[in-house]
Chain A
Amino acid sequence: MTPRDPNDVPAPLDPDNPESAMRDARQRFIAAFPSRSDSIGLMLSVVATMGSRGPVLQLRQIVHRTSGLAGMLGFPNVSVHAREIEELLDGVDRGDFDASRANLTFDALEQAFTDDLRHPPTWVGPDPGAGGNRRIMVVEDDEDQREVVCINLRAAGYLPVPVHTGDMALEAAREQKPDLILLDAKLPGMDGYTVCRLLKADPVLASTPVLFMTVRSGLDDRLVGLTLGADDYLVKPVDMPELMARIQILLARRVPVPGRPQGVGPDEAKGIRINP
């Protein structure tokens, strides 16, 4: 161990500190949860139709791991429901797998994630919002809605950047370089879909997560949003705790994982030539 200067600000990631490792692992768990949960849901539906010829072993492994990790990382209810699914899977071999109960448990598991996220354990630290002064751009024409979202963001420790129209959104994004963009679909002038497409076509802004908000809830609409490159999608009226949870998930995806390559940036890429 290298001696530490007592005046030194503690590093966010101390490789020898279990609490720090837990916080780091928790961020990774949050970031991976949506895809993990998608896999579980998909495999459950396959197992429901194919029985023991389905991916029972893989599903068992993923719910087992989810349960173990969730419990340790401050998601007790996720852990309980993942365990329940694991136990229900015992029924596949016995021939009495209760698919509808498994589906209900899966829904409960997804809900539990949002609930648990709102109640972080003490070791996560004093600021559960973990806003860390990150900038969230709020592109919303309705003044009341914009204000409500901004107040909630501020309360969670973020720096909201309010923008009134789609036309101003691109310019503002280039200037302010937000960490995430909340984008209303229906805007006067340039609508949210066009803004999203242009954001994602801009090499500097393309990696900024976009969370789309719309009053319409049709699947087509959701697909349009995601096809244009939005990273997630919320239906209005927006539930504030859910919004905060989704923001946290999207931002967690961007947390660099130490020791793992983060891809090649434009500067590094210049030095690399493939088949010159």
Chain B
Amino acid sequence: MKLLLAEDEPDVQLIARLSLKKAGFTVVTVGNGREVLERVGAEQPDAILLDWMMPDMDGFETCKRLKADPATAHIPVIFLTARVQETEVARALALGAIGCIGKPFDALNLGKQVMALLAT
């Protein structure tokens, strides 16, 4: 199963990638939302993990555009976010995301959390 992971903080990106890889995922990493839109066509990921706050294009805008494009609208989007307040989760779900994983996340169990969200 291939994941496209967008996260701007290098350490978080590295650890999330290794953790997901260990959980059996194939992981493609990018540093911002714009790169997600550039790569999503060629990579055809099974799901997209988006950091909420990124430079250039944030997670929200990226999600909106992914969902607006018929070619990518079907790909499940999961937010990685420091703000797991109900209003923000509601906003994410309204944009078409399937869920949020709160940061600071338990990096060593990230794979399980992603799996659980994808299974629902």
Contact = CB atoms under 8 A, between A and B. Distances in A.
A242 B33 CA distance: 41
A83 B18 contact: no
Contacts of A79: 104
Nearest to B105: A72
Contacts of B108: 18-19, 22, 123
Interface in A50-87: 64-65, 67-73, 76, 79, 83, 86
A73 B15 CA distance: 10
Contacts of A16: 18, 21-22
Given A16-B18, A22-B107, A67 B11 contact: no
Contacts of B107: 18, 22, 72
B14 interface: yes
A68 B14 contact: no
Contact of B12 (A19, A68, A83, A123): A68
Interface residues of A, number: 23
B82 interface: yes
Given A68-B82, A68-B103, A71-B103, A21 B18 contact: yes
A16 B14 CA distance: 10
B95 interface: no
A106 B4 CA distance: 35
B82 A64 contact: yes
Interface in B18-40: 18-19, 21-22
A225 to B, nearest CB: 32
A156 to B, nearest CB: 26
Contact of A76 (B12, B14, B21, B104): B104
B22 A25 contact: no
B53 interface: yes
A70 B104 contact: yes
B43 interface: no
Given A18-B108, A64-B53, A69 B9 contact: yes
Q: Chain B contact residues (Cβ within 8 angstroms of A): what range?
A: 10 to 19
Interface in A9-29: 16-19, 21-22, 25, 28-29
B103 to A, nearest CB: 5
A1 to B, nearest CB: 11
Contacts of B53: 64
Nearest to A19: B108
Given A18-B107, A69-B9, A83 B82 contact: yes
B104 A67 contact: yes
B18 A67 contact: no
Interface string B89-120: 00000000000000111011000000000000
A21 B12 contact: no
Nearest to B52: A64
A22 B11 CA distance: 8
A72 B14 contact: no
Given A18-B18, A64-B53, A28 B11 contact: yes
A248 B82 CA distance: 28
Contacts of A72: 11-12, 15, 103-105, 107
B44 to A, nearest CB: 25
The 4 closest A-B pairs by CB, nearest first: A71-B104, A18-B18, A25-B11, A18-B19
25 contacts: A17-B18, A18-B15, A18-B18, A18-B107, A18-B108, A19-B108, A21-B14, A21-B18, A22-B108, A28-B11, A64-B82, A67-B82, A68-B9, A68-B12, A68-B82, A68-B104, A69-B11, A69-B12, A71-B104, A71-B105, A72-B12, A72-B103, A72-B105, A76-B104, A79-B104
